[in-house]
């Protein structure tokens, strides 16, 4: 829901009446996964998606009905259902969508997400009741959930902050849809170079928070990085800590200067960061590895480096290289290789693709 949160907040503040449609179950080749949302206003405005376009028209009409009646609706579309063909779900998938009015508890969750914070949210599909829980232990709504579900609500900061976002539908428990909205993953860019500029924008477009680190004030400016979540003017050893880099962090080293590269690598490789990418040719990679070996790291640790960085897309412009880098990060995030889907259904198992050479 983070992707449509800014629009939802604007509509709510403007007094719009809103219906929310949420994918609560998906199988087969349905293009949107559980948690995907479409929001519709009584005035006909729309944001988000629940099917990539297949059933949006039908869901829009259902949402208007929900706004008129105030009663939630549970929708089911599948290729085995003639109605599904009528609304265009010819992709071979099955999808369940829950449509409901946007209420005060939704507004509280949206406010939390807008602030970049963490919350767990449950919806009882049968009764329409909700329950939200925050890391400090306070909650809204009516619990009424089984101990099994309660155990999945991490009420303390120690259990909640860096868990991956997840969506679970418990059919045996009375069809309760549980969502944990964790902190968004963060890309840490070392080096405010030209490639970093499009990379910041692309990464934010797909849901990453972005932090840019560089000790050179002339490069690290708001004019060059107007949308970056954080700009840190410091050397890597001053700005980074291995303890603070978690599996929700992806480190991209673009400085192409050993004074920046080596300290950043020393810290990132001894952290739990999910990804450590280093720009530079294979010659540069060898030089950096030699420096790290001299610093006491072993080859097993050095094998964590993705370098040359990115997937082999063939592009050479800054934007194309940024795209190749982001593509590799997303592949790592989802445990895929980045291979072409047209090469077969097991393309994700075809092995490592060589990175672009800088």
What is the pLDDT at residue 353? 29
Of 4 and 29, the structure prediction assigns the larger pLDDT to 4
Give the pLDDT mean for 205-214. 94
The 3-class secondary structure across 212-268, one letter per residue, is: EECCCCCCCCCCCCCCCCEEECCCHHHHCCHHHCCCCEEEEECCCCHHHHHHHHHHH
- Predicted confidence at residue 87, as pLDDT, reads 52
Question: How many other C-beta atoms lie within 10 A of the C-beta of residue 205?
Answer: 11
What pLDDT digit, counting tens, does each position of 12-26 carry? 999 999 999 999 888
- pLDDT score of 147: 52
pLDDT at 333: 93
Nearest to 110, CA basis, from 230, 183, 9: 9
Q: Are 133 and 55 in contact (CB under 8 A)?
A: no
Q: Which residues contact 331 (CB under 8 A, 6 or more apart)?
A: 311, 337, 338
- pLDDT for 268 equals 97
Q: List the Cα angle 328/23/103 in 5-degree steps.
A: 115
DSSP string computed for 333-349: HTT-----GGG-TTGGG
Residue 162 pLDDT greater than 50, yes or no:
no
Supply the pTM of this predicted model.
0.70
Mean pLDDT of 37-60: 89
Vertex 297, ends 296 and 298: CA angle to 5°? 120
Contact 94, 78 (CB under 8 A): yes
Q: Which of 23-37, 189-203, 288-302, 309-323 has the lowest mean pLDDT?
A: 23-37
* CATH class of this structure's domain 186-349: alpha beta
Q: Which residue has the tokens 């050095």?
A: 302
Question: Over 60: is that where the pLDDT of 155 sits?
Answer: no
- The model's confidence at residue 207, banded by pLDDT at 50, 70 and 90, is confident
**Residue in the block written with tokens 């090469």:** 343
Give the whole-angstrom CA distance, residue 236 versus residue 241.
Answer: 9
In this prediction, residue 95 has a pLDDT band, given cuts at 50, 70 and 90, of: confident
How many secondary structure helices (H) and strands (E) does the chain include? Answer: 11, 16
Give the mean pLDDT of 267-292. Answer: 96
Mean pLDDT of the region 157-172: 47
What's the confidence (pLDDT) of residue 11? 95
Domain edges within the chain:
2-102, 105-181, 186-349
**Which of 244-247's residues contact partners 24+ apart within 8 Å by CB, and which partners?**
244/271, 245/188, 245/271, 245/272, 245/273, 246/162, 246/271, 246/272, 246/273, 247/162, 247/272, 247/273, 247/274
Q: What average pLDDT does range 297-318 have in this prediction?
A: 95
């Amino acid at each position: 829901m983070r992707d449509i949160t800014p629009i939802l907040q604007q509509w709510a503040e403007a007094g719009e009446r809103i219906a929310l449609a949420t994918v609560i179950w998906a199988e087969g080749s349905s293009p949107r996964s559980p948690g995907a949302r479409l929001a519709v206003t009584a005035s006909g405005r729309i944001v988000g998606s629940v099917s990539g376009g297949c059933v949006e028209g039908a869901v829009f009409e259902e949402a208007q009905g929900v706004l008129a009646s105030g009663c939630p609706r549970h929708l089911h579309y599948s290729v085995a259902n003639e109605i599904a063909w009528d609304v265009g779900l010819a992709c071979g998938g099955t999808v369940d969508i829950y449509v409901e009015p946007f209420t005060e508890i939704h507004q509280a969750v949206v406010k939390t997400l807008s602030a970049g914070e963490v919350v767990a949210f449950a919806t009882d599909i049968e009764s329409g009741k909700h329950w939200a829980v925050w890391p400090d232990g306070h909650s809204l709504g009516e619990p009424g959930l089984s101990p099994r579900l309660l155990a999945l609500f991490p009420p303390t900061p120690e259990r909640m902050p860096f868990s991956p976002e997840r969506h679970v539908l418990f059919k045996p428990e009375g069809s309760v849809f549980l969502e944990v909205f964790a902190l968004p993953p963060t890309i840490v860019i070392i080096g405010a170079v030209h490639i970093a500029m499009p990379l910041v924008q692309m990464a934010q477009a797909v849901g990453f928070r972005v932090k840019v680190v560089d000790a050179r004030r002339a490069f690290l400016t708001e004019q060059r990085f107007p949308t970056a979540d954080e700009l840190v003017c410091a050397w890597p050893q001053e700005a980074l800590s291995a303890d603070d880099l978690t599996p929700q962090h992806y480190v991209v080293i673009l400085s192409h200067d050993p004074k920046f590269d080596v300290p950043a690598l020393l810290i990132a490789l001894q952290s739990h960061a999910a990804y450590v990418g280093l720009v530079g040719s294979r010659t540069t990679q060898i030089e950096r590895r030699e420096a790290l070996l001299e610093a006491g790291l072993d080859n097993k640790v050095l094998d964590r480096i993705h370098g040359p960085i990115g997937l082999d897309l063939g592009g050479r412009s800054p934007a194309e290289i940024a795209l190749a880098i982001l593509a590799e990060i997303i592949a790592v995030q989802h445990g895929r290789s980045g291979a072409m889907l047209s090469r077969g259904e097991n393309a994700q198992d075809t092995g490592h693709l060589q990175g672009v050479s800088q």
